[in-house]
Structure 1
Amino acid sequence: MAASIPKISWEQVSPAPVVLVFGKESFLADRALQRLRALLLLEDPELEVHDVDAGQYSDGALELIASPSLFDEPRLVRVANGVKATDAFIADVLRYLAQPVDGTTLVIRHDGSTVRGKKMLDAIRQTPGAIEVVCQPLKRGDMVPFARTELRLLEREATPGAIAALVDAFASDVSELANAIRQVALDTEGEVTEQVVRTYYAGRVETTAFAVVDAVVAGDVARALVTLRQAIATGADPVPIVAAFAMRYRQLAKVSGAGGSDSQAARQLGMQDWQVGNARRDLRSFTDASLCDAIEAIATADAAVKGAERSPGHSVERLVRQLAARTA
């Protein structure tokens, strides 16, 4: 039996004789199809594209579509609805896999919600030269790496706080998250910061992470703990929450060492006047020693939520209590 074919993510997709796009996340599947078409067009602008609905397929259609044309243009055959494939389609694909047509790329989309077409899927996964693009729904912990990748593809730099804000606001829908990242990347210049995100998406980015941080800095520990526990109970990722703490306290540390007026300090630190003013107001609750202790506690919590301890949720709650105890 042939070895199983490679399983890759959407951004790794490249032309192959047969491509299986498998999984329930339609946004990632669409991304894979768009990337594959773009790559094939780069190879040959005369690419012919044909769309097939596997659920409405009639016998023999695949052979006609995939066969070389008079001028031998390359072909991309995109098959949707593989989860409802007709018996005729399954039979024709099994025949096709025995001898794929040169110059034709056959892409089959199957969301895996049923076992319909299992024999066909098994055959594709044993076909030499084929690839499988995995498009499963992203878990909460996958959203931060996804956001980083999106920004990298757009050639934009972003702070950890900005990424945390975006993920915290849009992680319920990967397509919304991607669109939000693209929009803020296209409409702003320079490094994308947490403040840029919060300003740009005012009203939407009333996020859990920053709500917890705001409550702690304001000295409202009870509200911080309630907000945090509700977030953890509904599946919030502790990593962006700790990142939000790190961003805020680094900002406090920068402002604490700056002299001059708010506007002078803002120019020196690359911040807005009002940001400096707010930070100086918050710093009234800290001594130099308590601020240093807080930053050390955040560094410890960052390691804890990234695997150093078994319970990230408990690590974040401990951080909230520690920071509350260290205000002046």
Structure 2
Amino acid sequence: MPARRPPARSSSASRIAIPQLDWRAPEPAPVVLVSGPEEVCAERAIAALRDYLRAEDPSLEVSDIRADDYVSGTLLGVTSPSLFGEPRLVRVSGVEKATDAFLTEALGYLEHPQDGATVILRHTGASVRGKKLLDAVRAGQGNGVEVPCPAVKRDGDRFDFASGEFRTAGKRIAPAALRALVSAFADDLTELAAACQQLIADVPGDITDQIVERYYGGRVETSAFTVADTAIAGRYGEALIA
């Protein structure tokens, strides 16, 4: 089982006193704030935390709470130690729409986190609701960490996302292939992530632009990058046609 390592120290602004962890490599803490609007990254981070904890102890108990439809007393109930002392993972969604009851109990929980429990607070940033709770977590109450999931909107962000998918899997992809793939799914990060994972699973060797063309050619539009790559490769006739 992997040994739990202490989170890296944060280099963020002084008002944030807790570590800021990459969504590709989150680590558990008594409280984990998964913040930001990018749902693909948030889902990956939360799944990785579950897998990490389950690898440490297969008897992990997993509970889900909706902060926007909260029943008083639920948080304490699912984090309290069980008869056999299994570790607990509590995933809380909708913190940006949380009820007053949840916010009150969550703030109280930060003062006395339960041993053996990991509480994930998912806040999309869609509203300022729950700001007092987020500020308390970021100030260090509850001995938490934060996993920021900012929106992936710019081309450069999408390239970084896709290249990270292949790098994490230990798979090489040609620059032209990466550009073609990102171009094919420029409007949908969920589909881009799925396409990356399909290529990683299906292709045994390096991923070339010909492979991307074979899989997703119907979606790839000719771009200046395609023309330049073709010309650099010496295929001037193809470049002129493109």
Q: TM-score range by the shorter chain?
A: 0.7 to 0.9
Report the equivalent of 2:31: 18
Runs of 4+ in 1 over 6 A off after TM superposition: none
**Cross-structure match for 1:134:** 148
Shift of the alpha carbon at 1:2?
8.1
Letter in 1 for 2:45: A
Whole-Å Cα distance in 2 between the matches of residues 123 and 208 of structure 1?
A: 49
Superposed CA RMSD: 1.9
Unaligned runs of 5+ in 1: 213-240, 253-278, 286-328
Bigger relative contact order (CA 8 A; separation at least 6) = 2
In 1, Cα distance between the equivalents of 2:98 and 2:24?
A: 26
Q: CA deviation at 1:63?
A: 1.0
Q: Does 1:63 align with 2:45?
A: no
- TM-score calculated relative to the size of structure 2: 0.87
Q: Is the counterpart of residue 46 in structure 1 residue 59 in structure 2?
A: yes
| Percent identity for Structure 1 against Structure 2 | 46
The 1-side partners of 2:113 and 2:140 are apart by: 10
TM (norm. structure 1) is 0.65
Deviations along 1:193-239, whole A, 9 cap, x unmatched? 1111012112111x242xx4xxxxxxxxxxxxxxxxxxxxxxxxxxx
Q: Aligned runs of 1:1-328 on 2, under 5 Å?
A: 4-127=17-140, 129-140=143-154, 141-205=156-220, 207-209=221-223, 212=224, 241=225, 244-252=226-234, 279=235, 281-282=237-238
- Preserved contact between residue 35 and residue 147 of structure 2 (Cα < 8 Å): yes
1:8 Cα deviation after fit: 2.3
Deviation at 1:7, TM superposition (A): 1.9
User: Which stretches in structure 2 are left out of the alignment for 5+ residues?
Assistant: 1-13
1 or 2, which has the higher helix percentage? 1
How far the C-alpha of 1:189 sits from its partner, in A, is 2.7
Q: Distance in 2 between matches of 1:95 and 1:281?
A: 69
Q: Which amino acid aligns with 1:124?
A: V
- Count of matched residue pairs: 225
Check conservation: 1:2, 1:127, Cα contact below 8 A.
no
